[in-house]
């Protein structure tokens, strides 16, 4: 029972993973992009068999399925029924270009999907609002406010900042839209609560500029890691780019399992 309680607590803290199985380009560009900007953990899945196997690791997930792709509709019906039987806590929604009322009612009343049946022919902005409302009811974020990406094994995530008349470089360990942690090659002895301006962060091909305050430091694996919090003056466009990086980072890690 204690393990079950620990798992439930962990899920409530981390929130739920949201998978879009075979999403169309408009769904990717509008719905998934907006969910990421709203700090939901959303993934693109391109292999229903591998996703099914991976759900044992994510038994509280939400899956939106494009039933127009890969299989006939009747096979998708069987797939969803089997999925619901194997993983009763997984919630399912459907996208289809077929807006037939009988088909919609079958999925809602007979197959009993719980996350909506959406027509691909409607304005995607309306679908975004509806999906967000469903995710809010399901508490898909949990108690987590911000998505965070780990970057300690990446060579394309770095930070340099002015210090004592020169720029010093560091490797980014993790990052969210509110701050980051990093490791310097040589400890510069930064002071807590000190404000630093004109910090440059490189994330893949993006170069971002921020102001940040030293929140503190911690010892990790024999290295001193500094934690910075971005100031409220951060450019909204910088936040958009950080979230995009986080999405790419998380998707790349998840691809090893589901794609």
The residue-averaged pLDDT of 60-64 equals 97
For residue 180, give Cα distances in angstroms to 210, 214, 258: 11, 10, 28
Domains in the chain, CATH or no CATH each: 2-145 (3.40.50.2300), 149-250 (2.40.10.220)
Of 149, 188, 161, 147, give the one whose Cα is nearest residue 41.
147
The pLDDT assigned to 12 comes to 59
Where residue 144 falls among pLDDT bands split at 50, 70, 90?
Answer: confident
The pLDDT assigned to 82 comes to 97
**Residue 48 scores a pLDDT above 80:** yes
Measured over all CA atoms, what is the biggest interatomic distance in the chain, rounded to whole angstroms?
Answer: 70
Look up residue 99 and give its DSSP letter.
-
- Say how far apart CA 113 and CA 116 lie, in whole Å: 7
Query: CB–CB of 241/30 below 8 Å?
Result: no
Where residue 1 falls among pLDDT bands split at 50, 70, 90?
Answer: very low
**Residue 6 scores a pLDDT above 70:** no
The residue-averaged pLDDT of 150-164 equals 90
The residue-averaged pLDDT of 17-38 equals 96
**Residue 204 scores a pLDDT above 50:** yes
- Write down the pTM of the prediction: 0.91
**Residue 9 scores a pLDDT above 60:** no
- Say how far apart CA 61 and CA 169 lie, in whole Å: 39
Chain centroid to CA 39: 7
- Say how far apart CA 99 and CA 77 lie, in whole Å: 16
The residue-averaged pLDDT of 51-64 equals 96
């Amino acid at each position: 029972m204690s393990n079950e309680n620990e798992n439930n607590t962990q899920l409530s803290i981390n929130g739920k993973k949201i998978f879009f199985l075979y999403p169309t380009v408009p769904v990717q560009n509008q719905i998934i992009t907006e969910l990421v900007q709203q700090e939901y953990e959303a993934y693109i899945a391109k292999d229903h068999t591998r996703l099914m196997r991976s759900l044992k690791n994510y038994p509280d997930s939400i899956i939106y399925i494009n039933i127009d792709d890969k299989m006939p509709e009747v096979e998708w019906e069987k797939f969803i029924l089997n999925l619901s039987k194997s993983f009763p806590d997984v919630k399912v929604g459907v996208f289809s270009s077929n807006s037939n009322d009988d088909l919609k009612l079958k999925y809602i009343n007979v197959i009993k999907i719980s996350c909506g049946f959406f027509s691909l022919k409607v304005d995607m902005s309306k679908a975004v609002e509806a999906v967000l409302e469903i995710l809010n009811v399901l508490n898909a974020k949990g108690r987590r406010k911000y998505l965070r990406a780990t970057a300690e094994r990446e060579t394309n995530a770095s930070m340099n900042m002015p210090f004592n008349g020169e720029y010093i470089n560091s490797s980014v360990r993790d990052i969210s839209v509110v701050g980051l942690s990093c490791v310097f090659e040589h400890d510069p002895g930064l002071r807590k609560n000190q404000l630093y301006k004109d910090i440059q962060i490189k994330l893949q091909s993006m170069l971002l500029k921020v102001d940040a305050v030293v929140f503190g430091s911690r010892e990790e694996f024999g290295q001193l890691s500094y934690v910075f919090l971005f100031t409220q003056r951060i450019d909204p466009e910088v936040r958009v780019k950080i979230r995009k990086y986080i999405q790419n980072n998380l998707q790349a890690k998840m691809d090893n399992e589901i794609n």
